[in-house]
Amino acid sequence: MATQILLSELLAETTKNEITKITNSVFKINDDVLEILDVNFDTKTLKIRHNHSTHNIDFKSDLDLVLDKMGIKRSFEAINTDVKAPMPGKVLDVVVNVGDEVKKGDAILILEAMKMENVLKAEGDCIIKSVLVENQQSVEKNQILVELED
């Protein structure tokens, strides 16, 4: 189970932090030494070593937390995976056919949800493997709509 820590609250509780840069990846904060092993800005993760233990840290904005609660995946997680319905709705138009080559940003289908039209786009270059829905079909959240190949 992950623990959520608000950085602003954590920093407000500390009176003074002395931070010394030892190398590009090793820092001394007060009396603790931290080594940064990996930073991934796409997945917003940080891997550090502290006291001979490694720790994985997720850093998320308020928007990321809201999207997580809604079950909406960020674009880095959706690249070249199946296209799923982000919410319940009705398919208004399937723009692609099996075998079509699509580029990043190309429209795949239009989904009506909450009286709004949402264009679901390709997150990367791929080929349409199969289309599992038809126009005017109702769909549920996370239902696979279109399968993609690399």
Fold designation for 73-149: OB fold (Dihydrolipoamide Acetyltransferase, E2P) (2.40.50)
Per DSSP, 43 falls in state T
Can you spell out the DSSP letters for 84-141?
Answer: E-SSSEEEEEE---TT-EE-TT-EEEEEEETTEEEEEE-SSSEEEEEE---TT-EE-T
Put the strands of the sheet holding 116-121 in their side by side order.
116-121, 107-113, 89-94, 138-139
Please report, in tens digits, the pLDDT of each residue of the chain (150 residues total). 456 666 666 666 656 778 888 998 898 888 888 899 998 877 788 899 988 889 888 877 777 778 777 777 665 544 557 889 989 999 999 999 999 999 888 999 999 988 899 999 888 888 999 999 999 999 999 899 999 886
Which residue ranges make up each domain of the chain? 7-58, 73-149
